[in-house]
Structure 1
Amino acid sequence: MAAFPGVGNTDVRHVAKTGRLICEAVERVIDGKSDVIRLAVTVLLSEGHILIEDVPGVGKTMLAKALAKAIDCTVRRIQFTPDLLPSDITGVSVYNQETREFEFKPGPIFANIVVGDEINRASPKTQSALLESMEERQATVDGHTYRLATPFMVIATQNPIEMEGTYPLPEAQRDRFAVRLSMGYPSPGAEQQMLDAHASRNPLEELEPVTDAGEVARAIETVRSVYVAPDVQRYAIDLVTATRRHPELRLGASPRATLQLVKTARAAAALDDRDYVLPDDIRDLALPVLAHRLLVTADAHIARRGPAEILADILRSVPVPAPPVPPWGATR
């Protein structure tokens, strides 16, 4: 088939291969969570950030570490605590007595992959130190702006906000995360495999990188060029617009959510070895991309209607367009 101008079949095939290698590497550490792992790789290739929210002990930090280790790039880990300061994340200028000048000492944000463990244990002031970096890929310290590495990804974990000693993430912070995913408890079979695998060794220590930052950066460039038909774009807009008009939601999804929904759909298509997006790509990613951005009304909360249930109703009500015919006149 003829490829869309700017996207070669070989390029998309390479993205699919790279994504498969990363998924297989992480699956050697995390048992029985192939869907969660694929979603994490999708976000990586769409230049997004991940918020992993679940109860303690289900492998949130392990997933973040395994994904980071599968890529041969710079990785920094931040343990968020109540006494953590913004400068502990972005860096600080230190006066050098020999040169009589201030020297910038970069913080852990200056890495390809930043693992933020238990982000909701830090104060909102410290949490906000990530806002500029996550959106603009830069950090401003003492009036100077520093560009961050490429690729750049924040993988943050948090326990449910009802637990003691935590601070809920503000809406602006949550909106920076492309997806929120939940690990969930493993199946009995996967849990038994975990007991066998971790009895005498640590699979994370044995994990070897399967790609590097350069390969991931090239894959991201290919994903940016995946074709999205006008009808598919309109479908994404209709879904987001419906969240803004729903009577049970007091806060709908932002325009940033629309952009990230389409970007993750491009990555999902490339991982499936396609150089064009299907409506099903948008539909499948709507829940992880949109749900954490929505705030329900008091009446919906009393009725125990959460964002996931309301979003499911929206997905049923918004018409799904027909699969697009790519402009080159052929489909797979």
Structure 2
Amino acid sequence: MNYVLLFLLLLPFKLLMKLSHKKEARNLVIQTAKIGDFVNITPLLAHLEKSDALLSRTVAPLAEHDSTLADIFYIEEHKSSTYSKLKLALKLMNRYENVYLLHPNNTNLFYAACCNASNKQFLSMYRRKWYQGIFYLTATGTVEHDKYSLTLENYLRLADRSLTKESYPKHATLPLLKPDNTPEEVFRTDKIKIGISISAGNQAKTIPPTIWKALFDRLSGLPCLFYVFGAPNELTRLHELNKVVGESDNIVNMIGKVSLEGLPYAISQMDFYIASDSGNIYIADSQNVPVILIYGPCCVEEQRPLGDVLLIGPNHIAPSSFVFHALYKFNHPVEQLYELDNRKLDDIYDFICARKRPLQEKKTSS
């Protein structure tokens, strides 16, 4: 059923329930996007101190190790039927005093609008539809977001208009989870450890193997180890990379060896992280690891790492992919979007040389 019709159906009951709403200082944060987006809401979570959240199950391993979160609802568990949607709406209706809507799609707008909270702050963005106006009528405040404003900062402003990107640091798990089964390879101190992601959730953002080869060749004069992080289904990408660059003892396969909840700690052991606009680059940024973002078609004014970062973009190609309007196919070939010419390769080399730590004798344990 259309969410607008469903909301209109619930509206009389919502108004009746409002009469019995008890004001409790409970927060609900609604953001059902993926890993990088979750990391970018953590400054808001830190500001609020303790909140419930409506999230995507994709981020469950991180969210369930976050001390700023109490009760967590996963959107995938409430989309199977009209009954399941109504059940969650009724559960949320009188539960909160403050609601913060960070990802305003139809589903999330519906749940936020159903809440009888006295303070409801909604993000309003460039893909807003006319019929969503009925949901926005229930908001007590909105923050206008455009393609060239920083998402993280506007998320914070939902809670306090004076907050900025410097107000709170990001985190991935809080406190940082340090699993006992972290692979020993990540603790080496005799090489420059560079984490990389050779694939992205949006496959159109995957850097092709020929680009990685150009990068490896430029850094060949440095004692680098390249740690390839990823989910088990990304092994085929590693095989494709090996076909281009050849088998090498300075490429360390971490694919499938580190759980998502353990990934922040493993990445925190890296000296650098290189990737396209994907979740791991934001995890690395949250751990204060210097990052090299090869951002391709993405708009870095809207979302980017905020720590020690080198931004590498395409030559003379305007951004075409945005946080709330992500494309899965682009007009330019990936080799052009992620091209590393000599100037860019030199910038990466210099960035690493300026920050590399003194190396020690080979060590295989922490």
TM-score clears 0.5: no
What's the TM-score once normalised by structure 1's chain length?
A: 0.26
Q: Point out the structure with the larger helix share.
A: 1
Q: Larger RCO: Structure 1 or Structure 2 (Cα < 8 Å, ≥ 6 residues apart)?
A: 1
Question: Which has the larger Rg?
Answer: 2
